[in-house]
Each structure stands twice: as structure tokens, then as C-alpha cells.
Amino acid sequence: MQFHFYPIAVAIVSLLFSQAIAPPSSGIKSRTAIDDSVSKQAAISLQGALNNIGPDGSEVPGAGAGFVVASPSKVDPPYFYTWTRDSALTLKMIIDEFIFGNTSLQSYIEDYIHAQAVLQTVSNPSGTFLPAGLGMGEPKYQVDGTRFNGAWGRPQRDGPALRAIALITYSNWLIENGQPSKAKDIIWPIIANDLSYVGQYWNQTGFDLWEETQGSSFFTVQNQHRALAQGTQLAEDLRVTCTGCVQAPEVLCFLQSFWNGNFTVSNINVNNSRTGLDGNSILGSISTFDIDAYCDSPTLQPCHSTSLANFKVLIDTFRETYSINSGIPVGSGVAVGRYAEDVYQGGNPWYLITTAAAEFLYDAVAQWKARHNLFVDETSLAFFKDLYPAVQVRQYNSGNAHSPFVEIMNAVTAYADSFVAVAEKYIPANGSLAEQFNRDTGAPLSAIDLTWSYAAFVTMSQRRSGRFPRSWGSRNAITPPATCPTSSLSTKGIYVPATAAGAPNVTSSCQVNVVFNVNASTYFGENLYVIGSAEDIGAWDVENALPMGAGGYTSDRPLWSVSTYLDAGETVSYKYVRQENCNQAWLYETRNRTLTVPACGGDAIMQEDAWVGPGGAAGTC
Ligand code: NOJ
Ligand code: NOJ
């Protein structure tokens, strides 16, 4: 690839590179030198991800075949679990690498298919697989694929969408390589369950990818749309029916509502005091990137004007947030974190989001080059001004090496490279990638060897060297209606265990939806569970009690809530129980309660209770 620095970018990039990674006496580190460091780090990163996958991953003894462990870190933070999101994003990277030619990776894909077919059927605190797919909203499991029973931000509705995207990508490869029946008989049943889930629940709130905020998350909705749109296409190719896919235009319509005129509000339908500026939005656009997309596509690609405007506003917040970014001028890359108000593990920049910022820019450049033009409008003007001050609101067509179009492409590419340089500056010599790096010193911290950090470095390096997954068909996505409909926003899913891929043939007793609501004032760090005689609420074993959520807790109403399914017609005794913050004894309600589940086919019931029993007290741990 030819590379011409735009003069201002040269000054900025050279300043940065000389601080960052250049040997003491040299000036600018050449693009070739960065090429070398990026390809070395990409190789380390691919291996780093594989080391965290069972059964043979060197860092994760005990993990089952095909299960991707988030990090080998067992305490502080405890990440020795398998998250559906991290796993699907990692496998999407592996599937793309496989398609690009790394055939040695196929066994990881095969193991993943089997592992996920089983996992879909595992009952967990988000619910059961049958009859209604609720269990698939569970964010994480033990590394052998069994349920995790602790309190958590659940459900998280991006998991099924991301898994479907990974599996659809692989299925398309199988079709093109003469194995359509494998795609149809073995993999489609898993995808069909995931798309059923998306079509049924996309319009309900859930926890965001950072597992903190209950509401509607841009990242989730954007991936849900891609899954349904791409699933529609695959279902046609395989001549099968996709239940849920009809929701795609509705989801795309909803996606438009995250834009507030200045930036993408990453979490809406929430009750928190954040601005909504969040790396969520960058990650969403790179996950749904389509090299063939038009830049005005409502799928909100990296090259879309609102995505670019949002990128600038968001990145500028991090310029002020972290002291390691101080003095870096606009138009030059910085360390990027989740969101400015973040306090988790100290609220620091993340490797995977810093490299995602670079990937986003490489994606946008690739899209403009593929379209041979660029439309700068009032919305995107400020983004370009930082990089190419002479920019105007107009159309730029591709031209020779000194054309403004090419100069703008070079400036945006140099900007992308400058984010890579920042990431590399803070990567230790052995290439290991933790989750975060210290906002003041740049030292790595939080979970070590984070699989997602490694996967994100690999995808960034592929985009940087001009390698893109094939189009997922964004051009064929049905245009959303001008005004979003307010009814028919859900399609009842059809859930069938994917037995051909190895799922157990689970069956369901007839169950009815029961919602437990209890008012219970708690201190921060204390959690509530429901426990009772029915198997689904722990059969009086507190280790299996059903965790409740505090997403609706306000100062006016201390509401804890959980929605579950219980066997039709049974009479159940239950009570609420408090889990204390420092492993003190559980605190039980002092009375037993009773409910009778309606007969099969009956309507959902809601228990409205108020805590009766001792209040909790925070420990000192
Ligand atoms: C663990 C989650 O994984 C992380 O994203 C979150 O910030 C913390 N819990 C605090 O809620
Ligand atoms: C915390 C992150 O916020 C979340 O997105 C991720 O899934 C888990 N850690 C595991 O890596």
C-alpha cells in the first residue's frame, strides 16, 4: 500500500512516534517499522487468544472443548468464565482468519459449534431454554459450560446475535465450499435458536456489553440487526425458515434513535447520569462493518457521517479524561476507554477499545476507497477538520496521489496509525495484553491475557493491511419505515435443541411466566435472591437460589425483580434471601410465602411483595 503523509499529520505522528516507540536517536518510525511491530503483535495476539480456549489452551486447564475463557485471571478480577459475547467475537476473528487462509484453525470452529449447541440448552438464572429461549440471555457460564449462579447484570441480549453472526459467516463459507448440507443440518439449528431469541426479545431492555446498565444498548441493537438481516439471507440460501428475521427492519428503525444530533447516545431507556458517550458505539460499528456498504446506509457504518461525528466527540472526551493523553493534540490518537465516567478497576483506557478506534478508521478509509468517493457534510465536517483543515462540505472523488481525496485518505490512515502507536506504546515487551492500562502511568492492569484484547488486535491488524471479511449483505437490508412502528415488535420464537451439533434433547414441562417483585432496601454490594421449593428457584438450596436484579431500583422504590418460568399448576413455597457483601451469613426472610402457578397455557403472574425480616449490614472486607 502506498503511503503519503499529509504534512500536519506528519508533524503530529512524528511527535507521537518519537515519544512512543522510536529508538532514541531516530526521527519518525517508518510505516514499514510499524508494519513489523503490528504483524509481530498480531501473531502473539492470535496465539494469546488460542491459549485461552479449551480443551488444550495452555493458560486455561479445565476449560471444556470449544469454550473460550475470558482471561486466566481467577481473582481480582475473576474472569475465569466463558462469556457468550467475548467468545463469539473471538470466534468471529478465528473464522475470518480461517477464511483468509489459516486452515489450522478449523478445529477451534468445530469445537465452538458443539460447545454452543450444548450451552444453548443449559438452564441458568436467566431462565431455561424451553419453552421460550430465556436462558440464552445469560451472559456467562463456568468454563466447563455449566451454569453460573451468582448475581450478575442479566440478561444481556447481544450474545445470541453475536454468536449467530459468527456461525452465519462460517455457514456461508461452507456453502461456498461445497458443504451446504453441513450448514443446513448441523449449524443452522443453532443459528435459528439465536435468531428466534433476537426476534422475540430485541425490543425488551437488557444489560449493555459492559454489564452495568439496564436499557437499550447501541452495540446490542446494531448487532441484532446484522444478525437478523444476514440470517434472512442465509435462510433463503438454505431454503429454511427464519423465525424472527422479519423483525430486521423494525430493529434498524430503532437503531436510528440513538443519535441525539451531536453524537450517538450508547445507552438509551436508562436512568443514569452519564452523557452516553461510550466506546460501545465504535465497537458496534466495527462489528457490523461491511466493505460493500454505502456510507449513508442506515446500518451506521464507520464511514457514516454520524459515526464520524460521534467518533470525534467521543475521542475528545478521553483526551481530557486520562493524564497519559495530556498534551496530545486533536487529530492524533489517544488511549481510549469505555466511557469517561467509568470507575471499574480505576476507570482506565482499554487495549481493545484503543485498537478498535484504529480499526474503525481503517474501515472507513476502506469504504471510501471502495466507493471512490467521500461526501463531507455539516455533520462530519468537524471530524475531518482536525485531520485536513482545508476540508469543505462537498463531494470528493478519487483522483491521483495529490488529489484532496487521496490526501484525506492518507490523513485518516495516519490518524488510525497513531491509535495503534498509542496501544503499542503501552504493550509490554512480551506482547501480553491485559484488559486495561493505567490512566496515569500506562502500566497494564485488570485481567491479564484478556482474550478479547487479543482478538481485537488481530482484527485491527487485518483491516490495517487491507484484509476485510466479505460483505454481509448490508445493501440488501430492508430499509426501515419512516416512522418506527409501535406494535408487532416481537415474534414468538421457536426453540429446538440443536441435537445434530450435539445438544442434549431437552424437553420442557409446561411452564408459565412468574415475575417476582419485592421491595427491599439494600446497601451497595448486597444482593437479593428468591429461594423456594421448586427446582427452578433452587429447591431450598441457597447455592442454587435465583438471583434478582436491581435495574428498577430507585430512591422512591427499592425494587428487586426477576422474571422466570415455573411448572404449570404447581404450588410453590418461597421466600427472599439477602447475600451480604463480605461472605457473612445469608439473611432469610422470617416468613414463608406461597404461590400457585396457573395451569398450562395460563397468563404470566406477578408477585408483589415487601421484604419481611432482618435488614443487612455491610461488612468490612
Ligand atoms: C463486572 C463487569 O464485568 C464489569 O464490566 C463491570 O464494570 C463491573 N462488574 C462492575 O459492575
Ligand atoms: C468486563 C467487560 O465489561 C465485559 O464486556 C466482558 O464481557 C467481561 N469483562 C469479560 O471479559
* pLDDT band at residue 311 under the 50/70/90 scheme: very high
What integer is the mean pLDDT of 365-394? 98
Ligand located closest to 81 CA = 2
pLDDT at residue 29 in the model: 58
186-199 pLDDT, tens digit per residue, is 999 999 999 999 99
Say yes or no: 302 and 388 in one domain.
Answer: yes
Domain assignment present for residue 150? The answer is no
pLDDT at residue 24 in the model: 36
Return the percentage of the chain with pLDDT > 90, whole number: 89
pLDDT at residue 131 in the model: 87
Domain boundary among 415, 436, 467: 467
Say yes or no: 540 and 441 in one domain.
Answer: no
- CA-CA distance, 596 to 129, in Å (whole number)? 22
Domain assignment present for residue 148? The answer is no
Q: Classify burial at 375, counting beta carbons within 10 Å of its beta carbon; exposed 0-12, middle 13-18, buried 19 or more.
A: middle
Residue 130 has a CB neighbour count (10 Å cut-off) of: 20
Alpha-helical runs (H) found in 177-301: 180-182, 188-201, 218-238, 248-255, 280-287
User: Given a cut of 70, is residue 18 above it in pLDDT?
Assistant: no
Domain assignment present for residue 396? The answer is yes
pLDDT at residue 27 in the model: 39
- CA-CA distance, 476 to 465, in Å (whole number)? 27
- CA-CA distance, 288 to 471, in Å (whole number)? 10
Separation of CA 210 and ligand 2 centre (Å): 6
- CA-CA distance, 137 to 130, in Å (whole number)? 13
Say yes or no: 415 and 317 in one domain.
Answer: yes
Say yes or no: 454 and 307 in one domain.
Answer: yes
Which of 111, 208, 342, 363 is catalytic? The answer is 208
Residue 194 has a CB neighbour count (10 Å cut-off) of: 30
Helix 84-100 vs helix 451-464: crossing angle, to nearest 10: 40
- CA-CA distance, 52 to 432, in Å (whole number)? 13
- CA-CA distance, 105 to 506, in Å (whole number)? 31
Residues with Cβ within 8 Å of residue 497, at least 6 apart in sequence: 117, 120, 121, 129, 503, 504, 505, 506
What integer is the mean pLDDT of 4-23? 37
Query: Of 459, 456, 454, which Cα lies nearest the Cα of 71?
Result: 454
90-149 pLDDT, tens digit per residue, is 999 999 999 999 999 999 999 999 999 999 999 999 989 998 999 999 999 999 999 998
* pTM higher than the cut 0.85: yes
210 lines ligand 2 (CB under 6 A): yes
| Mutation choice for ligand 1 from 138, 280, 339, 344, CB with most ligand atoms inside 8 A | 344
H/E segment holding residue 55: none
Domain assignment present for residue 344? The answer is yes
Active-site annotation holds for 208: yes
Report the amino acid identity of residue 114.
Answer: H
Domain boundary among 433, 467, 501: 467
Domain assignment present for residue 340? The answer is yes
Active-site annotation holds for 76: no
CATH number reported for the structural domain that contains residue 544 in this entry: 2.60.40.10
| Angle 367-330-259 from CA coordinates, rounded to 5° | 55
Q: Which residues of 453-482 are buried (b: 16+ CB within 10 A; e: fewer)?
A: bbbbbbbbbbbbeeebbeebbbeebeebee
Domain hosting residue 430, numbered range: 8-33+298-467
DSSP label at 376?
Answer: E
Say yes or no: 515 and 569 in one domain.
Answer: yes
Helix 280-287 vs helix 218-238: crossing angle, to nearest 10: 10
- CA-CA distance, 264 to 277, in Å (whole number)? 7
CA dihedral 324, 346, 45, 167 (to 10 degrees): -130
Ligand 2 atom with the shortest distance to the CA of 71: 11
Say yes or no: 444 and 372 in one domain.
Answer: yes
292 lines ligand 2 (CB under 6 A): no
Ligand 1 atom with the shortest distance to the CA of 210: 5
* Dihedral sign (CA 314, 315, 316, 318): positive
Say yes or no: 315 and 450 in one domain.
Answer: yes
Residue 282 C-beta-side C-alpha neighbours within 13 Å: 29
Query: Of 354, 410, 547, 436, which Cα lies nearest the Cα of 79?
Result: 436
- Cα 195 to chain centroid, rounded: 16
Say yes or no: 338 and 429 in one domain.
Answer: yes
Contact by Cβ (8 Å): 51, 58: yes
Separation of CA 156 and ligand 1 centre (Å): 13
Query: Of 136, 140, 141, which Cα lies nearest the Cα of 160?
Result: 136
Ligand 2 atom with the shortest distance to the CA of 338: 3
CATH number reported for the structural domain that contains residue 379 in this entry: 1.50.10.10
Domain assignment present for residue 316? The answer is yes
Whether residue 188 is annotated as binding a ligand: the answer is no
209 lines ligand 2 (CB under 6 A): yes
Separation of CA 77 and ligand 1 centre (Å): 9
Say yes or no: 461 and 523 in one domain.
Answer: no
H/E segment holding residue 546: strand 546-547
Domain assignment present for residue 68? The answer is no
Cell of 67: 469454550
User: Given a cut of 60, is residue 11 above it in pLDDT?
Assistant: no
Cell of 364: 472507513
420-465 pLDDT, tens digit per residue, is 999 999 999 999 999 999 999 999 999 999 999 999 999 999 999 9
Residue 274 C-beta-side C-alpha neighbours within 13 Å: 23
What integer is the mean pLDDT of 209-214? 96
Say yes or no: 454 and 531 in one domain.
Answer: no
Domain assignment present for residue 208? The answer is no
- Cα 552 to chain centroid, rounded: 23
> Among 274-278, 381-385, 482-486, whose mean pLDDT is lowest?
482-486
- CA-CA distance, 40 to 288, in Å (whole number)? 27
What integer is the mean pLDDT of 475-490? 93
| Angle 341-343-348 from CA coordinates, rounded to 5° | 90
Report the amino acid identity of residue 515.
Answer: V
Say yes or no: 310 and 422 in one domain.
Answer: yes
- Computed over every residue of the chain, the mean pLDDT equals 94
* pLDDT band at residue 8 under the 50/70/90 scheme: very low
- CA-CA distance, 42 to 60, in Å (whole number)? 21
Say yes or no: 436 and 559 in one domain.
Answer: no
Domain boundary among 436, 467, 498: 467
Query: Could you give the number of structural domains in the chain?
Result: 2
